[in-house]
A and B are shown apart, each in its own frame.
Chain A
């Protein structure tokens, strides 16, 4: 069966680049992915000495095939750069092996490689745009927050973070831990609102075998796991009242008992707590202990809602646009002005998380190679705003759908796969649309 399949066709179907050389390192084969990645045509490289063509850092003393010859071991996932025709060097990850004849004599070599440009780009964006440990902000109020986090880096004092939902409290907690002297030690996160009340004590402090039904063995709690490091108690405002005195005790002297055990244990864990509720009100209505609040609230960081720092808004959509374009392999070069205007005028009750979700949604819906426009945004967001661009991929509405599809079919010489790709839809979806239009 396999013999009947053309080997070259198989190699050309691979997304990885494949190059083979003979024993004089002359290129004997290059697959289609490799020609596309390198920009060299087959005619330009076949018969040429490999290093004369690519002349990369992977050549000469770093030649992967030569390294296989010397070591006798194939190379996997070697990272380097490959020179391409008329383009800057492309970061690649390659595998190399030697081809041997039936007498185990080396008669050539094969290299397979992948383009790592997108992954490097992603890394670069994450690195470059980590304005402050991944937090994108340039407004004075946020700069003050960043400065405070740096100022407290030498301290073990509890940190209390407040702010509306979606303002980035967890990212702030990450930054506090990362900048502290406890960085490199454990960083345990507990969302107090998602753990059932009857399990929260066991989760935080652990339990002894037989403490309750199903407690079949001793279990270590989150505080013990955080010993020497940091524990982040998210949504602490949701913590049930009966649990608050125990947390207060850990804060006071680091002591606690596992559930069902009389032995007192001690732990050295820095506590970072966060909430989106109004704690003074919670104290007034009796749902949150005043003494716990004062113990937690040694260093208070308040994150203002996005609507109160609108100068940060232009930075965030651009950041999320790049991020999701890479994630969804799309090229959306910019955000339309009207769209950015909407972002600046929206109230953002859900803050940055709402904005991020809106951008992800819009990227999924948008046509490639055009600006991100209002009509690609979630319906609830674009009320009162109109869009003239209609850059959404499945927005081929009944009014102009046929003409648009025909235009694309002509553009791609009736290659339906290419048209479907541009419209970001399945080929079968396009087929149904064409059938409805009487074109199939």
Chain B
């Protein structure tokens, strides 16, 4: 029941309730990538950025393709709307590192180049952040392997 209910709340953009439903479901179905990628977005919207980063790192280590550009083509991707709210300053973060990290995560679902840029900005502000460093390496490697030309 929980995944379907989570999907309902996710479509309503009620990320708090969606997170609760997905978290319960993730205990019994941790390999459900469709659900996990939505749970990561929920974490970014419920002030659980560290959990989002941690889950994102675990997920892209297993299957990076499951995240990159995965929702953009679907009709219920909330990322661009959420990104717009942050980039225009409608949503304010306590520090720039968290803001850039959240933007890096959300852009990863939509555009890998912009995502890398934001993760790099976050890493510049906190160079010893191993989680972000690992994520950045995984994304860049994936990007280079995909034969895309990258101009940092």
Q: For B11, list chain A residues within 8 Å (CB).
A: 25, 49, 51
Q: Which of A62-70, A240-248, A299-307, A407-415 faces chain B?
A: A62-70
B27 interfacial contact with A, CB 8 Å = no
B7 interfacial contact with A, CB 8 Å = yes
Q: Which residue of B lies closest to A107 (CB)?
A: B4
- Give 1 or 0 for each of B11-24: 1 = CB within 8 Å of chain A CB: 11000000000000
Q: How far is the CA of A108 from the CA of B4 in the complex (A)?
A: 8
Q: For B4, list chain A residues within 8 Å (CB).
A: 23-25, 69, 98, 106-109
Q: How far is the CA of A23 from the CA of B29 in the complex (A)?
A: 15
Q: For B75, list chain A residues within 8 Å (CB).
A: 48-49, 52
Among A96-124, those with CB < 8 Å from B are 98, 105-109
**Smallest Cβ distance from A34 to chain B, in angstroms?**
20
**Smallest Cβ distance from B17 to chain A, in angstroms?**
10
**Smallest Cβ distance from A8 to chain B, in angstroms?**
23
Q: How far is the CA of A65 from the CA of B3 in the complex (A)?
A: 13
Chain A facing B: main interface SS: mixed
Among B20-34, those with CB < 8 Å from A are 34
Q: Which residue of B lies closest to A23 (CB)?
A: B4
Q: How far is the CA of A383 from the CA of B84 in the complex (A)?
A: 78
Chain B facing A: main interface SS: helix
Q: Which residue of B lies closest to A104 (CB)?
A: B1
B76 interfacial contact with A, CB 8 Å = yes
Q: For A98, list chain B residues within 8 Å (CB).
A: 1, 4
**Cross-chain contact A106 with B12 (CB below 8 angstroms):** no
B8 interfacial contact with A, CB 8 Å = yes
A: interface residue count bin: 20 to 34
Among B58-100, those with CB < 8 Å from A are 75-76
Q: For A48, list chain B residues within 8 Å (CB).
A: 75
Q: For A23, list chain B residues within 8 Å (CB).
A: 3-4, 7
Q: For B8, list chain A residues within 8 Å (CB).
A: 25, 63, 65-66, 69
**Smallest Cβ distance from A112 to chain B, in angstroms?**
19
**Cross-chain contact A106 with B76 (CB below 8 angstroms):** no
Q: Which residue of B lies closest to A109 (CB)?
A: B4
**Smallest Cβ distance from A129 to chain B, in angstroms?**
42
Q: How far is the CA of A69 from the CA of B76 in the complex (A)?
A: 20
Q: How far is the CA of A106 from the CA of B7 in the complex (A)?
A: 12
8 extra interface residue pairs, beta carbon distance < 8 Å, beyond A65-B8, A98-B1: A24-B76, A48-B75, A52-B75, A66-B8, A69-B1, A105-B1, A106-B3, A107-B4
Q: List the interface of chain B (C-beta within 8 A of A).
A: 1, 3-5, 7-8, 11-12, 34, 75-76
Q: Give the top 4 A-B pairs by smallest Cβ distance, nearest first.
A: A23-B4, A106-B4, A66-B8, A69-B5
